[in-house]
A = this chain, B = another copy of it.
Amino acid sequence: MELMQGLITRRSVRQYTDQRVSDADITEIVTAGMYAPSARHQLIWEFVVITDREKLKKLSEGLHTAPMAKSAAFGVAVCADLSRAASPDYWDQDCAAATQNILLACHDKGLGAVWVGMYPHAEREDVVKGICGIPAEIRVQSLILAGHPAAPARQEDRFDEHKIRFNDWND
């Protein structure tokens, strides 16, 4: 898939078939997250992949925003160890860029994926931490859920001329 085309055709996908994804493909997808930019090159992220069916079911039960976890082929908790942060103010933006790279890498492989928000909702982070044995001091920025899409994603034109100004807000 061509890069610009990929950027504008990626959609949030919440329904998946039963087909699974190999650990090798998942590793390649998550690796794309490691190529996101980060503040002062702090590379703050840590990734926990969830393929265990029981854990995915528990995520769907514990997070009211993630019922699709039960049918996902895998999840990725995008985490950060702030004890290593060079620019702690930017950790969640760094992780958001990594999350977006992972969503795009899923799209490149013909998979559908959705970004479930975690931080700054500590109670959501705690559900993921409990299920995956993630230490209390680690932060969870997002939970990505992914799988083979049950249906083609609807495309839409999102260009909005009112959202681009040149040189001045009152342009």
Contacts and interface: CB of A to CB of B under 8 A. Distances in A.
Interface residues of A, number: 73
A16 interface: no
Contact of A168 (B104, B120, B133, B168): B133
A8 interface: yes
B117 A39 contact: yes
A74 B114 CA distance: 32
Interface of A: 1-8, 10, 12, 23, 27-28, 30-32, 34-37, 39, 43, 45-52, 55, 87, 89-90, 92-97, 99-101, 103-105, 107-109, 114-115, 117, 120-121, 132-135, 138, 141-142, 158-160, 163-171
Q: At the interface, is chain A mostly helix, strand, loop or mixed?
A: mixed
Q: Kindly name the residue among A51, A115, A135 whose own CB sees the greatest number of chain B CB atoms within 10 A.
A: A115
Given A3-B107, A45-B163, A47-B163, 11 more contacts: A2-B108, A7-B101, A8-B35, A37-B100, A47-B164, A48-B168, A49-B165, A50-B166, A50-B167, A51-B166, A138-B169
